[in-house]
A and B are shown apart, each in its own frame.
Chain A
């Protein structure tokens, strides 16, 4: 197991947002985390990446307890969190955004290695190469989302946390993004994917968890969740036959 959460509870002040969540992600897997708005999906990712510290429970990553580490330490260990709403550095260039994605390893790996990785990222997202010197905030929403994912990849993570990459994007761009995620899986990238678009996420994922009110309500293979009648009712819009995302 690459990532394992054991009985993790998180709070915002007095409000409990996660209730004894246990889940795991194996190396090479794509795991989808689905659930309604406010179910605690983003809180869960924030807790893994260290923005929020769990009050109870432990988080293990590659055999280490990371529950008390800072975000900087966690990203150095190999977890890259692509946050909700993109959160790119809008008044900086695309190039600088990508460079900052490699901030934690810039000194360790050297500029040459980082620039080589940038070439690799440009091959995945050719549009970013064209926009290299453009201010990130002046790009379209889809391009900004691609930049957010690319910036996350610049960390060369062992595990990538993707928070709602399809949020507010046109269907065509969503399809493009999911194609990239599938491509990354082929390269062996492990991903924990949070999505409102449950159908698209489950079609891509190996396994999935359903989060309800801060608790894991259901878990299983992506296939079994897609055919689960409760899941279909709640998240897949009833018993329609699947349409492509």
Chain B
């Protein structure tokens, strides 16, 4: 009987709390006189930010699954991607704008991936016999160091990076039933979708991807198969760096790149990964999208200045009440 009552309370809370929150959103919004277009606008913009969080979260999940480390340098990859792309774009290269964009994109991703590999080799690998906590603190240190270097190189001014395409309109937007869609939003959604397909293919169809998954499931058994866990650790950092860089670059036309952008974005990506339970890629993507929408809507109906607060409220609530993530039942999550 007691068991059943507990279950019912759980069900009521699971359904009731979100409903209450939604009601609260509409109450606050209506007080501000929001139209449904304005609500839709908040959601659409939230999904755009959420797609970026999803890419960053995938970096956290990949590194965590393979090495057991939460890599707080992940935000630095996002910043480096955006800053390097903006810098390369400004170089006087002898191509048209379109090609300069492509070159900037590719160079920035490759360089950031290289930084990811170097970080793993120079700071994680030598300390591989330490506890995970030590390694996590190392990544915090690495983040601070990279941000410091970025400050020295680029200063405190924000750089700029152009939208990839204009959609043929002057203000680079189109309107669908009163909702404004930026051209760059489509690039962000498209990039995220393509990355997800590529990652699924990589983990599911290639031997290297299967090796990474094997490492995540059972490190010792993976070693007995002849899979070098050191190499896989390096590969996971490379992958995380590339994902972070791509996220930073596609975001750059919307939010101007600046040396300290990694902290905020890295932490948001971390919250998204935690929402997904930290071990599941699909759940992390869902977590990212959900986080983007929730924080944007919440900030929209309250004050836009306190937008960042909501991510951390979610983080605390998840860690308190659903440490296994929003999707999974208990500890039966499929890794990677």
B224 within 8 A of A: yes
B92 within 8 A of A: no
A87 touches B218 (CB 8 A): yes
Partner of A91, one of B221, B224, B335: B335
**In the complex, chain A residues whose CB is within 8 Å of the CB of B335:** 91
Closest A residue to B224 by CB, please name it: A81
Given known pairs A70-B228, A72-B227, A96-B210, the reply for A83 and B217 (CB within 8 Å) is: no
Binds B, one of A14-22, A26-34, A101-109, A176-184: A101-109
Q: Determine the distance from Cα of A75 to Cα of B227 in the docked complex, in whole angstroms.
A: 10
Q: Determine the distance from Cα of A49 to Cα of B221 in the docked complex, in whole angstroms.
A: 11
B221 touches A87 (CB 8 A): yes
Partner of A75, one of B210, B213, B220, B224: B224
B265 to chain A, nearest CB (A): 30
Q: Determine the distance from Cα of A69 to Cα of B220 in the docked complex, in whole angstroms.
A: 16
Partner of A87, one of B211, B213, B220: B220
**In the complex, chain B residues whose CB is within 8 Å of the CB of A151:** 225
A71 touches B224 (CB 8 A): yes
Q: What is the 8 Å Cβ interface bit string for chain B, positions 303-336, against chain A (1 contact, 0 not)?
A: 0000000000000000000000000000000110
Q: Determine the distance from Cα of A211 to Cα of B185 in the docked complex, in whole angstroms.
A: 67
B275 within 8 A of A: no
A19-55 interface (Cβ within 8 A of B) = 49, 51
Q: Determine the distance from Cα of A155 to Cα of B260 in the docked complex, in whole angstroms.
A: 49
B226 within 8 A of A: yes
A76 within 8 A of B: yes
**In the complex, chain B residues whose CB is within 8 Å of the CB of A90:** 217
A89 touches B228 (CB 8 A): no
A89 touches B214 (CB 8 A): yes
B215 to chain A, nearest CB (A): 10
Q: What is the 8 Å Cβ interface bit string for chain B, positions 173-214, against chain A (1 contact, 0 not)?
A: 000000000000000000000000000000000010011011
Closest B residue to A87 by CB, please name it: B221
A69-114 interface (Cβ within 8 A of B) = 70-72, 75-76, 80-81, 83, 87-92, 96, 99-101, 103-104, 106-107
B223 within 8 A of A: yes
Q: What is the 8 Å Cβ interface bit string for chain B, positions 98-132, against chain A (1 contact, 0 not)?
A: 00000000000000000000000000000000000
Q: Determine the distance from Cα of A96 to Cα of B209 in the docked complex, in whole angstroms.
A: 11
A100 touches B220 (CB 8 A): no
**In the complex, chain B residues whose CB is within 8 Å of the CB of A107:** 207
**In the complex, chain B residues whose CB is within 8 Å of the CB of A106:** 207
Q: Determine the distance from Cα of A151 to Cα of B225 in the docked complex, in whole angstroms.
A: 9
Partner of A100, one of B214, B228, B334: B214
Q: Determine the distance from Cα of A92 to Cα of B225 in the docked complex, in whole angstroms.
A: 15
Closest B residue to A136 by CB, please name it: B217
B227 touches A89 (CB 8 A): no
**In the complex, chain A residues whose CB is within 8 Å of the CB of B221:** 83, 87-89
Chain B count of residues within 8 A CB distance of the other chain = 18
A165 to chain B, nearest CB (A): 15
Partner of B225, one of A51, A70, A100: A100
A71 touches B223 (CB 8 A): yes
**In the complex, chain B residues whose CB is within 8 Å of the CB of A76:** 226
B207 touches A99 (CB 8 A): yes
**In the complex, chain A residues whose CB is within 8 Å of the CB of B220:** 51, 83, 87
A72 touches B226 (CB 8 A): yes
Partner of A83, one of B207, B224, B228: B224
B223-265 interface (Cβ within 8 A of A) = 223-228
**In the complex, chain B residues whose CB is within 8 Å of the CB of A100:** 210-211, 214, 222, 225, 227
Q: Determine the distance from Cα of A114 to Cα of B217 in the docked complex, in whole angstroms.
A: 23
A92 touches B224 (CB 8 A): no
A104 touches B225 (CB 8 A): yes
Q: Determine the distance from Cα of A49 to Cα of B223 in the docked complex, in whole angstroms.
A: 10
B213 touches A92 (CB 8 A): yes
B316 to chain A, nearest CB (A): 30
Q: Determine the distance from Cα of A234 to Cα of B279 in the docked complex, in whole angstroms.
A: 46
B213 touches A51 (CB 8 A): no
B88 to chain A, nearest CB (A): 34
B48 to chain A, nearest CB (A): 32
Q: Determine the distance from Cα of A53 to Cα of B268 in the docked complex, in whole angstroms.
A: 42
Partner of A49, one of B214, B217, B224, B334: B224
Q: Determine the distance from Cα of A76 to Cα of B224 in the docked complex, in whole angstroms.
A: 10
Most buried by B among A71, A99, A100, A155: A100
B224 touches A51 (CB 8 A): yes
Q: Determine the distance from Cα of A65 to Cα of B333 in the docked complex, in whole angstroms.
A: 42
Partner of A72, one of B213, B214, B223: B223
A51-B223, A71-B223 given; name 10 further pairs at CB < 8 Å: A51-B224, A72-B227, A83-B220, A83-B224, A88-B221, A100-B210, A100-B227, A103-B225, A106-B207, A155-B226
Chain B interface residues toward A at CB < 8 A? 207, 210-211, 213-214, 217-218, 220-228, 334-335
Some 15 contacts from A to B, beta carbons below 8 A apart, are A70-B228, A72-B226, A72-B228, A80-B224, A87-B220, A87-B221, A89-B213, A92-B214, A96-B210, A99-B207, A100-B214, A100-B225, A103-B207, A103-B227, A106-B207
> What 9 A-B pairs have minimum CB-CB distances, sorted nearest first?
A104-B226, A75-B226, A87-B221, A71-B223, A72-B226, A103-B225, A91-B334, A89-B217, A72-B228
